[in-house]
Every structure is written in structure tokens, then in C-alpha cells.
Amino acid sequence: MKKMLMKLAAIAGGAGVVGYMYLKKHPEKIAMMKSAAKDASRTIYNKLDDE
């Protein structure tokens, strides 16, 4: 059980580092994600206001 948790932690840590390096080289992806999150939250707030 402990080995499995250590493997999962190592995989998650490695994926986090790879993701960080990718996003550091592609800052436009971060801007796209931010705008998508803003649009989604705006849509949710509008739907809540309509009710």
C-alpha cells in the first residue's frame, strides 16, 4: 500500500513538473484557460440571475 502511494505521488509530481515546464514555454495557453474560466463563471452567474 505504501509503495503504491509513493508511486502515485511520484507520478503526480512528475506530471506537475512537466505541466509547469510546458505552460512556462506557452504562456498563451494560460491566457486561454483564464478566459475560458471567466466565460464559464459569467455564464453560470447569468443563469443564476435568470432564476
What would the pLDDT profile of 1-51 be if each residue is shown by its tens digit?
Answer: 888 999 999 999 999 999 889 888 988 988 999 999 999 999 998 888 776
Distance CA 39, CA 51 (A): 19
Q: Is 49 in contact with 42 (CB distance < 8 Å)?
A: no
Residue located via cell numbers 484557460: 33
CA distances from 40 to 4, 19, 31, 49 (A): 36, 23, 14, 14
Q: Could you tell me if residue 26 is left (phi over 0), alpha (psi between -120 and 50 degrees) or otherwise beta?
A: beta
The predicted pLDDT at position 42 comes to 92
Given this model, what pLDDT does residue 51 score?
65
pTM exceeds 0.85 for this model: no
